[in-house]
Structure 1
Amino acid sequence: MQNTLDGSVGQSALPLVDATTGNVVSGEVTTRGILLFVHGFMDAPESIAAVSQALDLSDWTMLAVDLRALQQKAPGAGTALQGFADATVAALQSCGLTDGHDFVVIGHSMGGQVAELVAARLGDALKGLVLICPAPLQGYPLTAEQQDMFRQRAMTRDPEAIKAGRGRLAPNASGDSMQTLVKTAMETEVDTALFQLDAWTTGDPAGREPSQVNLPVRLVCSDDIFFTPDFLSEHVTPRFSNIQTTHIAEAGHWPHVERPAQVANVVKTFTKRLT
C-alpha cells in the first residue's frame, strides 16, 4: 500500500461536510484523526449526524462525503463505484487532507463498497475500516421483481410511499430517525438515485478477490431483513483477513440512524483500540 492517496482519474471532487454540523469543509482539519463516512443509496451525510454528535473522541473529527453530487462516471473511472472512490479521493486532496492525518473509513450499504475502495488507497494513513450493513463489493444482482421495486423507489418522491418502503427495512425507526430517512431519499434526484442503484447492484471486480484492506475491519450487522447477518457472513466477511462483527439489535438496514448511540459506541471503541 502507498503512503499517500492515489490520484483520482479525471474526477471532480465531491463535497465534504462536517458530520456534526453539516457545514461544508473546504480546508484544514485540526484533529489528528479523521473518521470519514460514506453514505448509502438515496441517503446523505446527515444520516450519520446523530452518531457524530454522540461520539466522544477528542482527537478525531467525523467528516462525510456527499455522493449525490456525482451522477455519472468520469472518463476512465472504471466502474461507477470506482468513480465514487475517485471523487472521494479528489475531495480529500482538494481540502489538503491527504497527509498528516490518521483515517478510519466508515461506509453504510452502497457506501460500504465505496469505503473499501477508498480505504485501500489510504496507505499508511489508514487505521481501520467500519462497514455498516454493507452491500458486497462484487455487487448484488437483483431479480426482475427486485429491480422493478428498487427502480420505483428510486423514482418516487411521494413521502408516504418513501416512508412505507423505508419503514419495511427500518421497522424500529420513528420520529426524527424516520424523518431523516424520508428527507434524504426525497432530496436525492431521480437520475442520481438510478445511477446509484446501478452502481451498487453492478459492483466492482475487486469484490471477487480478497480485500486489499488488511488492517482491522469492524462489520456492523443488525436485524436487517435485506443484508442479513447470515448473508454478510457469507458474502462480505470471507474477503477480509482481519475482521470482527458486532450485531446491533432492534435495528434494521440503517442502524446508525435507528440506534445511533449504539453505533457511536462501536465506532468509539473500535477507534480507540487502533490508536
Structure 2
Amino acid sequence: MPTSSSVTFVGLHYWAGSGREFHALAHLLAPAYSLLAPNLAGFGDAPPPEVISYTVDAYANQVAQFIEDNQLTQYVLVGHSMGGKIALALAARQPAGLLGVALLSPSPPTPEPMTDEDRMSSLKAYGKPTEAEKTLRTITVRPLSAADQQQIVQDNLQSSRLAYDAWLLHGSREDISARMCTVEVPCTILAGDQDAVMSPSVHGLETLPLLPEGTPLEIISGAGHLLPYEAPEEVAHLLRDFARKIRPE
C-alpha cells in the first residue's frame, strides 16, 4: 500500500491488452514510485461488470473505484491508447488526489481516426491466434522478448468479445472533447515516431489543443504503439521527470 505522502502512478492499459503491460515500468519506477495497473473490465482476468457497460464513462467509474479501494491520495493517471481516453474522462471530473495525467499514444478525446475497413478487419480478427500475432507485428517496431510477445498475444486472445467489440464500435467513437475544458491538472503526451496506429500528428491535432496550455508532446524515436513494452526505460524517465515537476521533492 503506498504511503499517504507518496505519488502513485495508475496505469490504464490499451485495448485488447491488460495491466500486465506495465510490469516493466513498475519495476523501473520502484522504489521511488509505485505503479498500480488494474485490468479494465473485459480484459485480462477482470470480471465482467455487474451491469454490462463498456462505455468510456463506465471504465472511468471502474478506475475511480480502484483508486478509492486502494486509498490513493496523490496519484498520476498513465493512460495508454484506450486507457488515455479513459484517463481524460476521469480527469475531467476533477477527482480528489489527482496530480496529473500522462498519456502514452492516447486515443484522442475526439472519435478515434479509424477507417471502416480497419474497424471491420479488427472485428473479424477476434479470437484468432494468427491475427493476434499479425496485430503484434503491426503495432510494434522495436524487438521484444519472446515472453513479452507471448503476453501481448495472450492478452489479445483473452479479451472478452463484448469488451473487444464495444471499444471498436462505440468507445473509440465517443467524443468527450467538450469536457476537456475541465481538465486542469498538468498533462503530458508521449508518442512513438513509428506508431502505425496513432501517429504523433493525431495527438498534435486531436488531443494537444484540448489540454492545458503548455502541455508537451514528447516523441520517442524508433518506437511503435506499445511504449510500455518497447521503450520502458524512456517512459520511466519521462514519468519520473513529470512527477518531479508536478510535485517537487
TM-score (normalised: structure 1): 0.79
Matched, 1:145 2:120: no
1:234 paired residue number: 205
1:213 paired residue number: 183
CA distance in 2, matches of 1:124, 1:203: 25
The change in CA–CA distance for 1:247 and 1:87 in structure 2 (over 3 A counts) is same
Cα distance, 1:42 vs structure 2: 0.4
1:174-224 deviation per Cα after TM superposition (whole angstroms, max 9, x unaligned):
2233223212112212222112323432224x3245442222111001120
2:3 paired residue number: 30
Preserved contact between residue 38 and residue 65 of structure 1 (Cα < 8 Å): yes
The change in CA–CA distance for 1:195 and 1:55 in structure 2 (over 3 A counts) is same
Preserved contact between residue 223 and residue 231 of structure 2 (Cα < 8 Å): yes
Preserved contact between residue 73 and residue 80 of structure 1 (Cα < 8 Å): no
Cα distance, 1:85 vs structure 2: 0.5
Q: Describe how 1:1-275 pairs up with structure 2 within 5 A.
A: 28-30=1-3, 32-56=6-30, 58=32, 60-67=33-40, 68=43, 69=46, 71=48, 74=51, 80-95=55-70, 97=71, 101-140=73-112, 142-153=114-125, 155-158=126-129, 160-175=130-145, 176-204=147-175, 206-222=176-192, 223-242=194-213, 243-275=215-247
Preserved contact between residue 91 and residue 183 of structure 2 (Cα < 8 Å): yes
Secondary structure at the counterpart of residue 241 of structure 1: coil
Preserved contact between residue 109 and residue 206 of structure 2 (Cα < 8 Å): no
Cα distance, 1:45 vs structure 2: 0.4
1:52-96 deviation per Cα after TM superposition (whole angstroms, max 9, x unaligned):
1111452x3211121123656848x8x80001001211222234x
Worse-matched range after superposition: 126-135 or 178-187: 178-187
CA distance in 2, matches of 1:145, 1:264: 35
CA distance in 1, matches of 2:224, 2:114: 20
CA distance in 2, matches of 1:113, 1:104: 14
Q: What residue ranges of structure 1 are gaps of 5+ in the alignment?
A: 1-27
TM-score (normalised: structure 2): 0.86
Query: Percent same amino acid at aligned positions?
Result: 19
CA distance in 2, matches of 1:105, 1:224: 21
CA distance in 1, matches of 2:39, 2:184: 26
Preserved contact between residue 47 and residue 257 of structure 1 (Cα < 8 Å): yes
Cα distance, 1:230 vs structure 2: 1.0
Secondary structure at the counterpart of residue 140 of structure 1: coil
Q: What residue ranges of structure 2 are gaps of 5+ in the alignment?
A: none
CA distance in 1, matches of 2:209, 2:14: 22
Secondary structure at the counterpart of residue 236 of structure 1: helix
Q: How many residue pairs are counted as aligned between the two chains?
A: 239
CA distance in 2, matches of 1:73, 1:239: 33
Preserved contact between residue 57 and residue 268 of structure 1 (Cα < 8 Å): no
Aligned-partner residue type, residue 150 of structure 1: S
CA distance in 2, matches of 1:173, 1:80: 33
**CA RMSD for the aligned pairs?**
2.3
Preserved contact between residue 120 and residue 212 of structure 1 (Cα < 8 Å): yes
Secondary structure at the counterpart of residue 61 of structure 2: helix
The change in CA–CA distance for 1:195 and 1:173 in structure 2 (over 3 A counts) is farther
Aligned-partner residue type, residue 134 of structure 2: A
1:5 paired residue number: none
